[in-house]
Amino acid sequence: MMTITRARAVLADCLRRIALLALVAPLLWPASARAILSIEITQGADVGIPIAIVPFAWQGQGKPPQDLAEIISNDLVRSGRFVSIPRKDFVSFPKSEQEIVYKDWRVIKAEALVIGTIAPVGPDRFDVQFRLFDVFKQAQLAGLRYTVSASLLRTVAHQIADVIYEKLTGEPGAFNTRIAYVTREQANPKAPSVYRLQIADSDGHNPRTVVRSVEPLLSPAWSPDGKRIAYVSFEDKRSKVYIQNLADGRRELVAEFAGINSAPAWSPDGRHLALALSRDGNPEIYVLELQTRQLRRLTNDPAIDTEPSWSPDGRYIVFTSDRAGRPQIYRMTVDGRRVERLTFEGEYNARASYSPDGRMLTLVSGQQGRFRVATLQLDSGALQVLTDTALDESPTFAPNGRIILYATEVRGRGVLASVSSDGRVRQLYRLEEGDVREPAWSPYNRELQY
């Protein structure tokens, strides 16, 4: 069993792992094409709604700039809710409703059919149209048209996948979103490591470097509008919290108090950050109002309190504390009152955050030295372990609550992984070289560009 001393040391490491590193000032780095995260489905991809996605008819010269049907298919399959029928099984390749022969699709057991077109309509402008059909009812369920540049064609494909997902499941999709993460690369054993805070599409494509450093960067957190990221860095060998504006590259220093400044978490209205600070000697939870810089202390306990996260309705903050002897999850009202313990199963529970509907938490649960992603149902207190790896960390919900992205280790390398909230579907996100850690899933992206 984990001793009280060991439990406290593990929890303290959430803060000390920052302070023990002498980070140089991170350099703002222009957008660049870093290695794309490749995604491998490792469990649960063989069940779901059978759907046929016909290659979009290209009405230009040469090859189309993107295979939209493939992007849409990959999105839907990764959700675990769909089975994409292989193109080699198609009897026909319709590009309009008049060309659809529904029996051709019933024969191969497709329940839904997607067709579309893509056509150049000017310099770097493309017209994209798609339609979704119910094969058995022989009826159109959805159809949209877009006119975009080549750089936004993948975004359009993700939006189309979101529309299809919602029409066929009744729930919103989360394909047209982004993820943030930290990578570490080393040119050779004698060279210093290079760390990058990056953002990418939810499928790992279109990576963009936001911050670059020769030492680790930590704890990225998206603002509710998806336009800024708060993160932890060191400058002058001191921990500080910055907010990075993604549109213009500007950053703002928001916390450089004495001691440790860590674990930024946005309030749902985007006006406050919850932080773990040791400015008064002991790590406690504080709330910083961003406009006025007014700071409020919420916890006051000899234990280590860290890793705050807001409830979607803004009424509560959950956090990690060892006030009962071992790291466990607690919840308090936003004024710091009515503190209650939420986790009782397992010797270590930490790094909790809410699902978008506020009904459950995802967290890291430890038992006998193994740390795995779990969910906690807030109404019943039921804890469900979802993964079977040993060193999981930093779980984060997709904005529809269906998928949890987290960091883990595979054969000595840091990778990202995801698991469905019911534990049925699992995937790995790998870089060709280097490690990747500290994931954070963005809120919904309502626009075609940012």
Residue 101 shares a structural domain with residue 14: no
- Beta strand 261-266 pairing with 272-277: antiparallel
Look at residues 135, 169, 203 and tell me which one is the last residue of a structural domain: 169
**Boundary-marking domain end, from 136, 169, 202:** 169
Residue 45: predicted pLDDT: 61
Average pLDDT over the chain, rounded to whole? 89
Query: How high is the pLDDT of residue 215?
Result: 73
pLDDT of residue 286 exceeding 80, the answer is: yes
Distances (CA, A) of 211 to 79, 222, 231, 280, 434: 30, 14, 10, 30, 17
Count the Cβ atoms, other than its own, within 10 Å of residue 88: 5
Together in a domain, 275 and 320: yes
Residue 216 pLDDT: 77
Residues 265, 309: contact at Cβ < 8 Å? yes
pLDDT of res. 246: 94
Q: What residues pair up with 128 in beta bridges, in sequence order?
A: 118, 146
Section 61-80 average pLDDT: 94
Residue pLDDT, tens place only, 321-332: 999 999 999 999
Domain span holding position 411: 4-24+178-441
Q: Residue 56: inside a domain, yes or no? A: yes
pLDDT score recorded for residue 446: 61
With respect to residue 36, please indicate whether it lies within any of the assigned structural domains.
no
- 310 shares its domain with 335: yes
Q: Please give the pLDDT value at position 331.
A: 98
pLDDT of 85 over the 60 cut: yes
Cα 296 to Cα 337: distance, rounded to the nearest angstrom? 13
The better pLDDT of the pair 27, 253 is held by 253
146, 208: one domain:
no
Q: How far apart are CA 265 and CA 136, in angstroms?
A: 47
Span of 16-30, 211-225, 409-423 with lowest mean pLDDT: 16-30
Where a domain ends, among 125, 142, 169?
A: 169
Could you give the CA distance from residue 448 to residue 401 in angstroms, rounded to a whole number? 22
From the centroid of its chain, how far is CA 426? 14
- Tens digit of each residue's pLDDT (9 = 90 or more) over 235-262: 777 899 999 999 999 999 999 999 999 9
Within this chain, do residues 182 and 162 fall inside the same structural domain, yes or no?
A: no
Query: 130 with 232, same domain?
Result: no
Sign of torsion over alpha carbons 75, 77, 80, 82: positive
Has residue 411 got a pLDDT over 90?
Answer: no
Residue 42 maps to a domain: no
Whole-number CA gyration radius for the chain: 23
Q: Same structural domain for residues 188 and 146?
A: no
- Sort strands 82-84 and 49-53 into parallel, antiparallel or unpaired: parallel
- Render 200-227 in DSSP notation, one character per residue: EETTS-S-EEEEEESS--EEEEE-TTSS
For residues 138-167, give the mean pLDDT: 97
Query: How far is it, in rounded angstroms, from Cα 392 to Cα 394?
Result: 7
The DSSP annotation for 285-338 comes to EEEEETTT--EEE----SS-EEEEEE-TTSSEEEEEE-TTSS-EEEEEETTS-S
Across residues 143-164, what is the average pLDDT?
96
Find the angle CA(313)-CA(318)-CA(322) to the nearest 5 degrees.
175
Q: How confident is residue 447, by pLDDT bands cut at 50, 70 and 90?
A: low
Together in a domain, 127 and 233: no
**CA dist 172 to 162, 197, 419, Å?**
7, 28, 18
- For the ranges 144-158, 212-226, 322-336, the lowest mean pLDDT is seen at 212-226
* Bridge partner residues of 83 (DSSP): 50
Identify whether the C-beta of residue 200 lies closer than 8 Å to the C-beta of residue 209.
Answer: no
CA distances from 409 to 35, 134, 372 (A): 18, 42, 11
Q: Given a cut of 60, is residue 62 above it in pLDDT?
A: yes
318 lies in some domain: yes
Identify the pLDDT of residue 214. Answer: 79
40, part of any domain? no
Tell me how far apart the alpha carbons of residues 356 and 353 are, in angstroms, rounded to a whole number: 9
For residue 17, pLDDT beyond 60:
no
Any idea what the CATH number is for the domain that residue 145 is in? 3.40.50.10070
Q: Is residue 303 domain-shared with residue 354, that is, in the same domain?
A: yes
Percent of the chain residues topping a pLDDT of 90: 76
Residue 18 to residue 249: CA distance in whole angstroms: 24
Residues 6+ apart with CB under 8 A from 91: 101, 104, 105, 107, 108
User: 33-42, 297-306, 426-435: which has the minimum mean pLDDT?
Assistant: 33-42
The overall pTM is greater than 0.75: yes
Pair 185, 121 in one domain: no
Confirm whether 32 is domain-assigned.
Answer: no
pLDDT, tens only, 328-345:
999 999 999 899 999 999
Give per-residue pLDDT as tens, 188-203.
888 888 889 999 999 9
Shared domain check, 279 and 154: no
CATH of the domain at 337: 2.120.10.30
Mean pLDDT of 430-445: 90
CA angle 93, 94, 100 (to 5 degrees): 120
Residue 217 lies in a domain: yes
pLDDT at 11 over 50: no
pLDDT grade for 405, boundaries at 50, 70 and 90: very high
- Is 165 in the same domain as 195? no
User: Does residue 449 form part of some domain?
Assistant: no
Domain count, the chain: 2
Percentage of the chain exceeding pLDDT 70: 91
Q: Residues with Cβ < 8 Å from 39, sequence gap 6 or more? A: 74, 78, 203, 204, 427, 428, 429
What's the CA gap between 419 and 426, in Å, rounded? 4
> For residue 237, what pLDDT is reported?
78
Spacing of C-alpha 51 from chain mean position: 26
